[in-house]
């Protein structure tokens, strides 16, 4: 479903040359990074809360069947219809069937990454149903015909001027100016009629609360409630890992989620949806459907990627990732970008399609440091690299080079000789301490400089240092 | 085999030991909520109402403090006048509000798509986050809190709760409504170049009439 069209390298290359994109990414991720730091500093219990959040997620993952059945029981008792989908195709089929049976012409949708993951936008288009994205950022990328480039700010790659061009074409009347406030007003006006005229509203869920059967959405715009209240049918799509035992557990995770995502303490609207309209209720949908989606999650449960099921989709790992900040979200080619995307995309699309992603990582560990549920992202990326090697997915040049290295590494004299030649040869390419270009490594040096090596290998210097120190100690002893 | 059975079977296959009894799982879940003070922020203000006002104001919520409910219509009129708005109001169809004297304001209980101002009741306020809690019901339409540009909310000072968990505890054993919503400040977005704009889809203004104290 999410298989990238071109290779990661070509996409990343194109994005690296895009100066406008670079400014846009820096603005959003830089802001997010600063605000998160302030929010975490203002909450001294953050590390304890983080350990607790991780424990809550681990507890649910260890008893997932128990909580899924409890949730199903309670949601059904509240009048919701619970559906199960083993993969993206099943999920799409369930949702289009519900829409077609309801004779739906217009569907409003509140942002959900799972909806993107299962390819819902295309499925609705194929079924001939008009889909209106109601989250402002999703509205922008729908008009642009793009996919989200960030899981919290899907349109962060678009500048205000670009948004103005899209809105002027699509909004009636067009916005009078291109400052953000005027354009937000324009979207508010434009989408109001859609909210009230929709036949079906589709939302995601940040949490599924097992003991009440409620689904929880968090938004800042208020579009989720305007999406889920007026239509006759409300459909929720959610991954099976979204469960929490109770409302109080959801709150414990919410404290981590909001601070890590936007640096706020609480989203403007935190809404628990429990079943359809009750007898006598003033408003609300007549039917509520909840589609529980597996799509690779039970596979992760059984292998080394299990900790990834803790992910609460806050986006902090990408905001703090040096690679993401260079190339943006689209280069990753899947639904989920950044470090979490590099772990998840091989699960969803297959490793053969996406083996470049776990390799595009500097292993600096920032992502794991900021992850609010302590997911060891670099370890998981390393696990993909290992698997890629074992499954012989590495290109021939890499395998050959590493094979050569392995042969030399087993013969110390050969290794020493090779590295002595190498380190001296590298000095020929660099002036003033940095190497700006290197034959056969243009891909590396185009956007980075390699420090010019010292002319002697580490082992040579180490030995010289040891000898020097031995001499010194000897001198001291003589005094 | 249905998708449901396949998913549950895959989950069970991934677990080395059998599932512990339900009571043991519940006890483990409850233990994860122990010592809540060690995993949540401490209030700055000693008085609950002061902390609530501090938190909510920081997010752009405005306040008016009233001695009792009878003062509500006048306070609403004052708010509408200050903002240069016509004396018209969508009123939550709750007996407590309908019983007040609305001679100076044109009230109706239907919310228009382009409603300027609406007045509703909050069930609780949560000091930790400055959130107002509303529930859907026969006399509580959800759209009343989302369609208007100005959302005015009545909150009794005695229904303030210190923390998010206290709301969860207050709901323990009670029937979960169709919608339970924590409203924390006016609607906003940072989706265009990260600049903050109020009034994205929901209300751009949130005004609390705090009763008592
Ligand atoms: S992996 Fe961690 S930091 Fe990244 S989105 Fe998931 S929860 Fe957030």
The alpha carbon of residue A149 is apart from the nearest alpha carbon of chain B, in Å, by 12
Is residue A185 included in any domain, yes or no? yes
Same domain, A79 and A202: yes
Is residue B2 included in any domain, yes or no? no
Is residue A240 included in any domain, yes or no? yes
Q: Residue A340 CA: which ligand 1 atom is closest?
A: 1
Question: A86, B182: Cβ pair inside 8 Å?
Answer: no
A240 Cβ inside 6 Å of ligand 1: no
Same domain, A270 and A410: no
Quote the pLDDT of residue A428.
59
Is residue B189 included in any domain, yes or no? yes
**Average pLDDT for B51-63:** 97
Per-residue pLDDT band at A471 (split at 50, 70, 90): very low
Q: How does DSSP assign A211-257, residue by residue?
A: TTTEEEEEESSSHHHHHHSSSSEEEEEEEGGGEESSHHHHHHHHHHH
**Average pLDDT for B55-70:** 97
A164 Cβ inside 6 Å of ligand 1: no
Among B176, B183, B198, the strongest candidate for a mutation testing the A interface, having the largest count of A CBs within 10 A, is B176
Per-residue pLDDT band at A422 (split at 50, 70, 90): low
Quote the pLDDT of residue A479.
33
* pLDDT > 90: percent of chain A: 69
Is residue A461 included in any domain, yes or no? yes
Q: Under the phi-then-psi rule, with left for phi > 0, alpha for psi from -120 to 50, and beta for the rest, what region is A313?
A: left
The structure tokens 């010194």 sit at: A472
Please tell me the distance from the alpha carbon of residue A267 to that of residue A220, in angstroms, as a whole number.
6
Q: For a ligand 1 pocket test, name from A253, A332, A372, A379 the mutation site with the most ligand atoms within 8 angstroms of its C-beta.
A: A372
pLDDT for B192 beyond 80? yes
Q: What angle do CA A354, A365, A33 make, to 5 degrees?
A: 95
Quote the pLDDT of residue A397.
62
A247-261 and A19-41 helices cross at what angle (nearest 10)?
Answer: 130
Is residue A378 included in any domain, yes or no? no
Range name among A86-95, A154-163, A200-209, B121-130 with the lowest pLDDT average: A154-163
pLDDT for A195 beyond 50? yes
Quote the pLDDT of residue A333.
86
Q: How far is CA A198 from CA A173, A222, A229, A311, in A?
A: 21, 16, 10, 32
Round the CA-based radius of gyration of chain B to a whole number and report it.
21
Quote the pLDDT of residue A408.
65
Q: What residue of B is the nearest CA neighbor of A137? A: B191
Same domain, A183 and A77: yes
Type and span of the H or E element at B179: strand B179-183
Atom 6 of ligand 1, nearest CA residue: A311
Q: What is the CATH number of the domain that holds A111?
A: 3.40.50.10420
Please tell me the distance from the alpha carbon of residue A271 to that of residue A215, in angstroms, as a whole number.
8
Quote the pLDDT of residue A458.
56
Please tell me the distance from the alpha carbon of residue B149 to that of residue B146, in angstroms, as a whole number.
8
Is residue B51 included in any domain, yes or no? yes
* pLDDT > 90: percent of chain B: 92
Is residue B113 included in any domain, yes or no? yes
Is residue A318 included in any domain, yes or no? no
Contact with chain A for residue B25, Cβ under 8 A: yes
Other C-beta atoms closer than 10 Å to the C-beta of A424 total: 13
pLDDT for A2 beyond 60? no
Q: How far is CA A342 from CA A82, B84, B123, in A?
A: 31, 53, 44
| Burial class of residue A452 in the structure, from the number of CB atoms within 10 Å of its CB (0-12 exposed, 13-18 middle, 19+ buried) | middle
Quote the pLDDT of residue A443.
47
Q: What is the CATH number of the domain that holds B84?
A: 3.40.50.10420
Please tell me the distance from the alpha carbon of residue A222 to that of residue A419, in angstroms, as a whole number.
61
Which chain A residues in 242-281 lie under 8 Å from chain B, judged by CB atoms?
245-249, 251-252, 254-255, 262, 265-278, 280-281
Q: Select from B39, B137, B183 the Cβ nearest to the Cβ of A49.
A: B39
Quote the pLDDT of residue A1.
41
Contact with chain A for residue B39, Cβ under 8 A: yes
Q: Residue A370 CA: which ligand 1 atom is closest?
A: 3
The alpha carbon of residue B4 is apart from the nearest alpha carbon of chain A, in Å, by 5
Per-residue pLDDT band at A462 (split at 50, 70, 90): low
The structure tokens 């040869």 sit at: A425
Per-residue pLDDT band at A39 (split at 50, 70, 90): very high
B164-169 contacts, C-beta under 8 A, 24 or more apart: B164/A248, B164/A251, B164/A254, B164/A255, B164/B40, B164/B126, B164/B128, B164/B129, B164/B131, B165/A248, B165/A251, B165/B33, B165/B36, B165/B40, B166/B126, B167/A247, B167/B124, B167/B126, B167/B133, B168/A246, B168/A247, B168/A248, B168/A251, B169/A248
Q: Residue A312 CA: which ligand 1 atom is closest?
A: 7
Q: Which of A299, A318, A352 is the last residue of a domain?
A: A299
DSSP letter (8 states) at residue A455: S
The alpha carbon of residue B168 is apart from the nearest alpha carbon of chain A, in Å, by 6
Question: A62, B177: Cβ pair inside 8 Å?
Answer: no
* pLDDT > 70: percent of chain B: 100
| Domain span at B163 | 44-211
Residue predicted with more confidence, A417 or A233: A233
pLDDT tens profile A214-224: 999 999 999 99
Same domain, A274 and A404: no
pLDDT tens profile A265-293: 999 999 999 999 999 999 999 999 999 99
Please tell me the distance from the alpha carbon of residue B171 to that of residue B165, in angstroms, as a whole number.
10
Is residue B21 included in any domain, yes or no? no
Among A222, A244, A246, the strongest candidate for a mutation testing the B interface, having the largest count of B CBs within 10 A, is A222
pLDDT for B126 beyond 80? yes
Quote the pLDDT of residue A268.
97
Q: How many domains does chain B have?
A: 1
Q: Which of A294, A287, A293 is nearest to A99 (CA)?
A: A287
Same domain, A292 and A410: no
Is residue B70 included in any domain, yes or no? yes
- Letter string b/e over residues A268-302, b meaning 16 or more CB atoms within 10 A of that residue's CB: bbbbbbbbbbbeebbbbbebbbbbbbbbbbbebbe
Which pair of structure tokens corresponds to residue A429?
């390419």
Quote the pLDDT of residue A26.
87
Same domain, A279 and A406: no
Q: Which of A271, A287, A274 is nearest to A224 (CA)?
A: A271
- The answer to whether B138 touches A280, Cβ cutoff 8 Å, is yes
Is residue A384 included in any domain, yes or no? no
Q: Which of A299, A317, A333 is the last residue of a domain?
A: A299
Quote the pLDDT of residue B213.
63
Q: What residue of A is the nearest CA neighbor of B34? A: A52
* pLDDT > 70: percent of chain A: 81
Q: Select from B7, B29, B191 the Cβ nearest to the Cβ of A298.
A: B7
Per-residue pLDDT band at A401 (split at 50, 70, 90): low
Range name among A85-94, A182-191, A466-475, B20-29 with the lowest pLDDT average: A466-475
Question: A249, B33: Cβ pair inside 8 Å?
Answer: yes
The two beta strands, A214-219 and A207-209, are antiparallel
Residue B99 CB contacts under 8 Å (≥ 6 apart), including other chains: none
Please tell me the distance from the alpha carbon of residue A215 to that of residue A222, in angstroms, as a whole number.
16
Same domain, A293 and A405: no
Same domain, A53 and A177: yes
Q: How many domains does chain A have?
A: 2
pLDDT tens profile A99-142: 999 999 999 999 899 999 999 999 999 999 999 999 999 999 99
Mean pLDDT of the residues in chain B: 96
Per-residue pLDDT band at A475 (split at 50, 70, 90): very low
| Domain span at A31 | 8-299
Among B35, B179, B206, the strongest candidate for a mutation testing the A interface, having the largest count of A CBs within 10 A, is B179
pLDDT for A400 beyond 80? no
Cβ-based contacts of A92 with chain B (< 8 Å): none
Q: Residue A310 CA: which ligand 1 atom is closest?
A: 7
Which pair of structure tokens corresponds to residue B204?
């751009």
pLDDT for A473 beyond 70? no
- The answer to whether A134 touches A109, Cβ cutoff 8 Å, is yes
Quote the pLDDT of residue A389.
86
**Average pLDDT for A378-385:** 95
pLDDT for A430 beyond 60? no
Is residue A376 included in any domain, yes or no? no
Give ipTM to 2 decimals: 0.97
pLDDT for B102 beyond 90? yes
Residue A395 CB contacts under 8 Å (≥ 6 apart), including other chains: none
Question: A48, B186: Cβ pair inside 8 Å?
Answer: no
Q: Which of A253, A114, A376, A411 is nearest to B32 (CA)?
A: A253
Please tell me the distance from the alpha carbon of residue A260 to that of residue A319, in angstroms, as a whole number.
10
Which residues lie across from B180 on neighbouring strands?
Answer: A272, B135
Per-residue pLDDT band at A437 (split at 50, 70, 90): low
Which residues lie across from A435 on neighbouring strands?
Answer: A450
**Average pLDDT for A52-76:** 98
Overall pTM > 0.95: no
**Average pLDDT for B32-36:** 97
A313 Cβ inside 6 Å of ligand 1: yes
Q: Which of A250, A267, A299 is the last residue of a domain?
A: A299
Quote the pLDDT of residue A476.
38
Which pair of structure tokens corresponds to residue A259?
């601070």
């Amino acid at each position: 479903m999410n298989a990238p069209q071109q290779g990661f390298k070509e996409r990343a290359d194109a994005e690296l040359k895009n100066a406008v994109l670079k400014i846009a990414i820096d603005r959003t991720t830089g802001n997010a990074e600063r605000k998160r730091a302030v929010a975490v500093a203002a909450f001294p219990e953050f590390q304890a809360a983080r350990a607790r959040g991780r424990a809550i997620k681990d507890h649910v993952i260890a008893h997932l069947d128990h909580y899924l059945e409890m949730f199903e029981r309670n949601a059904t008792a509240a009048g919701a219809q619970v559906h199960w989908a083993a993969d993206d195709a099943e999920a799409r089929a369930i949702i289009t069937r519900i829409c077609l049976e309801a004779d739906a012409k217009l569907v409003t949708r509140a942002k959900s990454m799972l909806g993107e993951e299962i390819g819902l936008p295309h499925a609705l288009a194929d079924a001939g149903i008009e889909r209106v994205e109601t989250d402002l950022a999703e509205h922008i990328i729908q008009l642009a015909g793009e996919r989200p480039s960030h899981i919290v700010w899907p349109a962060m790659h678009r500048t205000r001027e670009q948004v103005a061009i899209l809105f002027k074409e699509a909004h009636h009347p067009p916005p009078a100016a291109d400052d953000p406030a005027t354009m937000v007003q324009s979207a508010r006006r434009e989408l109001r009629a859609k909210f009230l005229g929709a036949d079906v509203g589709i939302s995601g869920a940040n949490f599924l609360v097992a003991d009440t059967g409620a689904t929880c959405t968090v938004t800042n715009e208020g579009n989720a409630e305007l999406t889920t209240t007026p239509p006759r049918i409300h459909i929720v799509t959610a991954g099976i890992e979204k469960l929490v035992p109770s409302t109080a557990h959801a709150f414990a995770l919410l404290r981590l989620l909001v601070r890590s995502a936007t640096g706020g303490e609480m989203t403007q609207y935190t809404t628990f949806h429990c079943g359809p309209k009750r007898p006598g209720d003033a408003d609300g949908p007549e039917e509520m459907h909840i589609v529980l989606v597996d799509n690779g999650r039970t596979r992760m449960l059984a292998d080394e990627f299990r900790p990834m099921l803790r992910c609460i989709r806050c986006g902090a790992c990408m905001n703090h990732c040096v690679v993401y900040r260079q190339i943006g979200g689209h280069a990753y080619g899947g639904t989920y970008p950044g470090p979490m995307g590099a772990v998840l995309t091989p699960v969803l699309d297959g490793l053969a399609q996406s083996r470049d992603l776990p390799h595009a990582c500097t292993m600096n560990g920032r992502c794991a440091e900021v992850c609010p549920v302590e997911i060891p992202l670099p370890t998981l990326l390393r696990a993909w690299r290992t698997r890629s090697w074992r499954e012989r997915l590495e290109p021939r040049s890499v395998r050959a080079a590493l094979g050569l290295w392995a042969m030399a590494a087993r013969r110390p004299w050969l290794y020493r000789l090779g590295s002595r030649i190498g380190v001296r040869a590298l000095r020929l390419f660099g002036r003033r301490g940095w190497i700006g270009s290197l034959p056969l490594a243009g891909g590396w040096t185009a956007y980075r400089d390699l420090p010019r090596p010292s002319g002697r290998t580490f082992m040579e210097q180490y030995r010289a240092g040891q000898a020097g120190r031995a001499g010194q100690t000897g001198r001291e002893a003589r005094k | 085999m249905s998708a449901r059975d396949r998913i549950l079977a895959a989950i069970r296959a991934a677990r080395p030991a059998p599932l512990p009894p339900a009571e043991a799982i519940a006890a483990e879940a409850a233990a994860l909520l122990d010592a809540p003070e060690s995993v949540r922020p401490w209030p700055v203000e000693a008085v609950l109402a002061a902390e609530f006002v501090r938190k909510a104001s920081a997010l752009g919520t405005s306040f008016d403090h009233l001695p009792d409910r009878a003062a509500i219509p006048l306070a609403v009129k004052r708010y509408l006048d200050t903002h240069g708005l016509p004396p018209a109001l969508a009123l939550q169809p709750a007996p407590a509000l309908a019983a007040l004297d609305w001679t100076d304001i044109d009230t109706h209980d239907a919310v228009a798509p382009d409603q300027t101002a609406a007045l509703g009741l909050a069930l609780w306020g949560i000091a930790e986050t400055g959130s107002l809690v509303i529930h859907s019901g026969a006399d509580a339409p959800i759209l009343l809190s989302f369609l208007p540009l100005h959302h005015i909310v009545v909150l009794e000072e005695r229904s303030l709760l210190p923390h998010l968990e206290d709301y969860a505890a207050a709901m323990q054993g009670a029937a979960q409504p169709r919608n339970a919503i924590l409203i924390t400040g006016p609607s906003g977005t940072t989706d265009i170049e990260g600049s903050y704009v109020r009034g994205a889809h929901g209300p751009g203004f949130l005004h609390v009439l705090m009763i008592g104290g």
